[in-house]
Amino acid sequence: MTSSLPPHRSTYILADEATVRLPRDPSLLEQAERIAEGYHHCQVAEASLWLKQGLAHLQQGQYTPALSLLQQALQIYRNLGDKRRQAKVLLTLASLYYRVADYLWAADYGRQCLRVAHDLKDDALIQQTLGHLGNSYRHLGNLQRALEYMSQSLTIAKKMGDRPGEMRSLNNLAMIYRAKGLTHQAATLYEASLMMAVTLGDQATQFQLLQNLGNTYFTLKEYGQAIDCYERFLALSKNSPIETDQRTNRRILTQLTLVSITMGDHSRAIVYLQHHLSIACALGDTKGAATLLDDLKRSYEALGEARVASIQRDMTSV
């Protein structure tokens, strides 16, 4: 009778045999570490070069190549787990999209940067990113969200004692309030920001605020304060090392003329028109000069009619 069981075979167990031990050559391990370290340094250098080139293109207004290079740098920094440099690139990308008025992408990169900034617990970066998000959402028309972000930005700036950051946040908050139709509150915030700009000696911000505040007071029909802001702008432009654009100066003179006419002060309007005319002639703007001459003619006629009316009133009252 044949057994169905398989024949017995001996089982060999290899234990502590020299033939199965893996070689533990320290030189191989060191070589692998050197290769890994070299690859890491290569990646860092490559990302740094792309970031540098991207920033150079951005400064020259070449946005398409800047975007491509910055995104490549961002991907490497993500692979390396370098959150500090990730945040820098993310905020730069957010600013790039803001410059080209693509506010949806500007807000998206801003939100990504904010998450990284919170991971880093970097209050200065959080404050800056919140301000960027507030401005982006203001342009998107989401004023409530814009207000929330900008209010947080102001709170952090105050906590840090960052006076320039506080000044910028107040200015940006004023723009949000004005967009919401809360013009009186906007004027109050502009005034607070302007006081800080004067204290800090920040003339570039003073120019912006004097324009915004003047326009806000004009909307409120507080014409005397509007004129004061516009005239302070022109006085500052004469004495400031910052050269203001003549187009901006002409806009200010146009606003001053309009405010003066609205107030019925034709003598003041004539002074501003003559100043404006001299700039137009110096720039060779013949079309603009012709328009200003027509405005001057109407202002002189209005002034004459006002004087005649005044004399008639005086005669009637005698």
Q: For 270-306, how does the pLDDT look when each residue is reduced to its tens digit (9 = 90+)?
A: 999 999 999 999 999 999 999 999 999 999 998 887 6
- pLDDT category at 35 given cuts 50, 70, 90 is low
Task: Identify the residue whose tokens are 């999209």.
Answer: 97
pLDDT tens profile 186-223: 999 999 999 999 999 999 999 999 999 999 999 999 99
Query: Which range, of 16-25, 103-112, 155-164, 308-317, averages the lowest pLDDT?
Result: 16-25
Share above pLDDT 90 across residues of the chain, in percent, rounded to a whole number: 74
User: Do 170 and 189 form a contact (C-beta atoms < 8 A)?
Assistant: yes
The pLDDT confidence band at residue 1, using thresholds 50, 70 and 90, is very low
What is the model's pLDDT at position 304?
A: 83
Q: Which residue has the higher pLDDT, 311 or 15?
A: 311
C-alpha distances in angstroms, 229 versus 171, 252, 256? 15, 10, 10
Distance CA 114, CA 91 (A): 9
Which residues 6+ apart lie within 8 Å of 290 measured at CB?
none
pLDDT of 17 higher than 70: no
Higher pLDDT, 44 or 237: 237
pLDDT band at 15 (very low <50, low <70, confident <90, very high): very low
Q: Could you write out the DSSP letters of every residue in 147-166?
A: HHHHHHHHHHHHHHT-HHHH
pLDDT of 244 above 70: yes
The confidence score (pLDDT) of residue 24 equals 58
Give the per-residue pLDDT at 47.
Answer: 83
C-alpha distances out from residue 148 to 23, 114, 134, Å: 62, 14, 7
Q: Please determine, for residue 106, whether its predicted confidence score (pLDDT) is greater than 80.
A: yes
Most confident of 45-59, 90-104, 302-316: 90-104
Tell me which of 21 and 279 has the higher pLDDT: 279
Name the average pLDDT for the chain: 88
Compute the distance between CA of residue 286 and CA of residue 297 in angstroms, rounded to an integer. Answer: 16
